Amino acid sequence: MMIDKVKSVLNKMRPSLQADGGDVELVEVTSDGVVKVRLMGACKGCMMSQMTLKMGIEKAIKQEVPEVKEVISV
């Protein structure tokens, strides 16, 4: 159930990431609330990718899925 909620949030964010030439792929949602994602495209090598991950992706996921403790890039 938590994985479906996380996928839904990522799908909402995907158009804005793609508009800048990037994307995000869900790798895993662990039982202890860690979401593992892979930044792709322009996001992969961008100097701002950590800010996008923490202030954008993580913040949005935590707002809609409070069970999530952290979002990390793998």
- Report the C-alpha gap between 15 and 67 in whole angstroms: 25
- Residue carrying the six token digits 């890039």: 73
Q: What is the domain count for the chain?
A: 1
The pTM of this model reads 0.91
Q: What is the pLDDT of residue 31?
A: 92
Residue 11's domain spans which residues?
Answer: 2-73
What does the pLDDT look like over 5-24, one tens digit per residue?
Answer: 999 999 999 999 999 899 99
Contact present, 28 and 63 (Cβ < 8 Å): no
Residue 7 sits in a domain whose CATH number is: 3.30.300.130
Instruction: Please tell me the predicted confidence (pLDDT) of residue 13.
Output: 94
What pLDDT score was predicted for residue 54? 93
Q: What is the pLDDT of residues 23-73, one digit of tens each?
A: 999 999 999 999 999 999 998 888 889 899 999 999 999 999 999 999 999
